[in-house]
Chain A
Amino acid sequence: MTDPTQATAVELATALSAGEVSAREVVDAHLERIAAVDGIVAHGDVWNAKPAEELTPDQPHAFLAVTAAAARAHADDVDARRAAGEPLGPLAGVPLALKDVLTMRGAPTTCGSRMLEGWEPPYDATVTERLRAADVVVLGKTNMDEFAMGSSTENSAFGGTRNPWDLDRVPGGSSGGSASAVAGLLAPLAIGTDTGGSIRQPAALTGLVGVKPTYGTMSRYGLVAFASSLDQAGPFARTVEDAARLQSVTWGHDPRDATSVPGEVPDLLAGLQDGVAGLKVGVVRELQGEGYEPGVELVFAAALERLAGLGAEIVEVSLPHASYGLPAYYLIAPSEASSNLARFDGVRYGLRVDAPTAEEMNAATRAAGFGPEVKRRIMIGTHALSSGYYDAYYLQASKVRTLIAEDFRSAFEQVDVLVSPTSPSVAFRFGDKTADPLAMYRNDVATVPASLAGIPALSLPAGLAAAPDDPTTSLPVGLQLMAPLKRDDLMYRAAWAFEQATGFAALPTGPRAVSRSVTTQEVR
């Protein structure tokens, strides 16, 4: 195997089981590339990212911490057990990047916040545990918008992450570190979390497959909560099959999560290659048009033609309340956040700023530990839940949520899957939307309806479009596929057929793309 960092997870798994490469060689190749390009101080058992002010413009800053020693030890263990003839899982020895919102022992979990800087969790998230049980080797923890609040990863307290397709642009967010790691060939797989689009939008902006599984099918145990009724972990990968394999080893009921859905989850691989001939594909009327960039609309129109060419029946459907998704989301998510983040009170974990009374200590700690966007959302949520406003804001938004879920149920009586663009825009430049919070929130317009309904949704690359502010730069555009509750399998099946017909190579190209070779000197 010439360069393991350019291989897909399935290619790596095949080479590993054939003995063509060892897990240690695969892990070392990725660690070398991370050390060379990402802006990491490659020293000690856990490598830390450099402080933001020391990073250079060619460093993606995808990882906050790299668990190098633990990853090497795990890889050696996989190799030893393989040599001994032990049965291993289908992804054994394949490396992965984990969003820093999921707990893992042996390294800090910061959630991109000064509030938790240096905090080491005393337990593993269920997702982390299942990755370990599947012998997927965790390379480290990835950068993110603080407490997963944002759509560009610019809200990380530790500095932003760069898009491997154009290092002057954002990778989307909030799971921007995970997206940048996979698109930048620092890991073949990553786990992110998606509350209103935080996996799908960065996947779209970095040319990857990114999936928000059905709500309740990926355990939230050990996922630091932002909005509990919406948060869901899910895979990033360079191919649909890689994503399906990663979801297969991490999802399913968990008794430690009271919101986990009981019962079996569907087999994502059995019908993966069945094609879309005869499937009814609904185009959501409300999730296109005004506010979507012309380049995005062109690629979306071509995607519909491609699906039709594969034998899918394309019909237009309406989700009458979809346009209320974004306002409802920006009441529900901040309300839940204001409640969840009350736990950061300077008592049990993280930062404390001393003050004479408990209330002053709480308020001073939270003022110092939270960044501007987290404060903004806590303020919106606290107001929306406060006496006199609860009915008009939180309760009304939760009722609109019911109507949106009913819209989807009606639509799925007519069609098998729904499609829309994932994001209204391609990757934008740093600072373009930070001055206006509402402009940033509008990135989520196409992704929040599925979040509110709890249905599975996936983004995969549909093609490239010229950047509106720079016609010489071509950037990825994502196609969003949505399916009924617990029909993630149907969504993957449609995605696989589309991917095969599209032939999109998920490798960054362009004048400001991250270098594919390992050494720092050759970057840019």
Chain B
Amino acid sequence: MALSEDEVRHVARLARLALTDDEVVALAPQLSDILGYAEQVGEVAADEVVATTHPFALADVTRPDERAPSLSRDEVLAGAPAVEQDRFAVPRIVAEEG
């Protein structure tokens, strides 16, 4: 299928990618080409086939419920771009009440 530039912008919003106009213009035909090629999978009659997600079909993998050492808070926060009061800091998500 051919993807329009508007559709590319929509997908970019879903993917949280702030694309430039030049990137959108370049991506529209590239993504259309790749998806056009990938659409060949539709030629295969597979209605009754079960989808594969893992070659060994593992399910409900659990471990014994035992205490084990984990990373300290400082080790986890050390790689974060912004930290406040021992927490990951992010821009305000919920607006202040007026």
Interface residues of A (CB under 8 A from B): 119-123, 214-216, 229, 255, 258-259, 261, 321, 324, 327-328, 330-331, 338, 342, 345-352, 354-364, 366-367, 370, 372, 375-376, 378-380, 382-384, 386, 392-393, 395-403, 405, 437-438, 441, 452-455, 485
Contact = CB atoms under 8 A, between A and B. Distances in A.
A485 B38 contact: no
B98 interface: no
A122 B79 contact: yes
B14 A399 contact: no
B14 A362 contact: no
B2 interface: no
Contacts of B3: 383
Given A358-B90, A399-B49, A401-B51, A376 B18 contact: no
A327 B37 contact: yes
B25 interface: no
A173 B42 CA distance: 29
A403 B49 contact: yes
B80 A330 contact: no
Contacts of B37: 327, 330, 438
Contacts of A327: 37-41
Given A437-B33, A438-B34, A401 B52 contact: yes
Contact of B31 (A354, A383, A395, A485): A383
Contacts of B46: 396, 399-400, 402-403
Contact of A363 (B8, B17, B31, B34): B17
B15 A454 contact: no
Interface in B31-64: 31, 33-35, 37-44, 46, 49-56, 58, 61, 63
A274 to B, nearest CB: 26
Nearest to B77: A348
Nearest to B72: A122
Name the residue among B50, B76, B79 with the largest chain A CB count within 10 angstroms: B79
Contact of A361 (B44, B54, B91): B91
Contacts of A259: 54, 58, 61
Contact of A216 (B40, B50, B55): B55
Contacts of B52: 398-399, 401-402, 405, 452
B19 A375 contact: yes
A37 to B, nearest CB: 32
**5 A-B pairs with the lowest CB-CB distances in the bound complex, closest first:** A454-B55, A398-B51, A352-B81, A399-B46, A363-B18
Contacts of A399: 44, 46, 49-52
B16 interface: yes
What DSSP secondary structure best describes chain A's contact surface? helix
Interface of B: 3, 8, 11-20, 23, 27, 30-31, 33-35, 37-44, 46, 49-56, 58, 61, 63, 71, 75-76, 78-82, 88, 90-93
Given A356-B91, A403-B44, A348 B80 contact: yes
A95 B33 CA distance: 44
Name the residue among B46, B61, B82 with the largest chain A CB count within 10 angstroms: B46
B39 A347 contact: no
Nearest to B61: A258
Contacts of B54: 215-216, 229, 259, 454
Given A376-B27, A383-B11, A324 B40 contact: yes
Nearest to B71: A122
Contact of B15 (A331, A338, A358, A453): A338
Contacts of A215: 54-56
A379 B31 contact: yes
A357 B50 CA distance: 42
A402 B47 CA distance: 12
A380 B56 contact: no
Contacts of A382: 11, 14-15
Contacts of A454: 54-56
Contacts of B11: 379, 382-383, 386
A364 B41 contact: no
Given A393-B38, A399-B44, A438-B34, A375 B61 contact: no
A438 B33 contact: yes
Contacts of B79: 119-122, 348-350
A229 B53 contact: yes
B38 A355 contact: no
